[in-house]
Amino acid sequence: MPANHHAVVWIDHHEARIFHFGQSEVEQLVIHPHDPTHQVHHKANSIGSGHAAEDQAFLHAVTTAIADARSVLITGPANAKTELVKHIHRHDPAIINIITAIETVDHPTDGALVAYARKYLTAADRMRP
């Protein structure tokens, strides 16, 4: 991928779909966590929050996959996108500077996600000095 490419991440607790794209080319990478979390229900009078711990290896793999992009749009339907940003902030703070935005996006097709990211990041590029 050229040095001046963008990336979009769609992430939930079962997978991360990462697309690196330039003017005409698109490369896709799919990363799965070692142990995908299942919904955990909290019971009254029990210890713990009822939430599974974040998969740090999964979040690190996603962070590594986007590290060379010029700008990144992070998307997803729930909390995994914010967990990814928190992980980046704690473990790879230099990468925070390439994150353009974090958006809630349900379950788009791959083509729709890339088209959305192209439009979003192109508009963001125009606003930068």
Q: For the domain that residue 92 is a member of, what is the CATH number?
A: 3.30.420.60
Could you tell me if residue 115 is inside a domain? yes
Could you tell me if residue 116 is inside a domain? yes
- The band of 32, judged by pLDDT with boundaries at 50, 70 and 90, is very high
When divided into structural domains, the chain yields a total of: 1
Could you tell me if residue 58 is inside a domain? yes
pLDDT tens for 41-82 read 444 555 554 444 568 999 999 999 999 999 999 999 989 999
Asked if 122 and 22 count as a contact pair (C-beta separation under 8 A), the reply is no
Could you tell me if residue 68 is inside a domain? yes
Closest C-alpha to 28, from 12, 9, 46: 9
Could you tell me if residue 70 is inside a domain? yes
- The band of 124, judged by pLDDT with boundaries at 50, 70 and 90, is low
- The band of 39, judged by pLDDT with boundaries at 50, 70 and 90, is very low
Domain that holds residue 71: 6-33+52-127
CA distances from 87 to 97, 98, 114 (A): 14, 14, 24
Torsion 40-41-44-50 (CA) sign: positive
Torsion 95-56-114-23 (CA) sign: positive
pTM equals 0.81
Residue 65, token pair as written in the block: 């996959």
- The band of 17, judged by pLDDT with boundaries at 50, 70 and 90, is very high
Could you tell me if residue 82 is inside a domain? yes
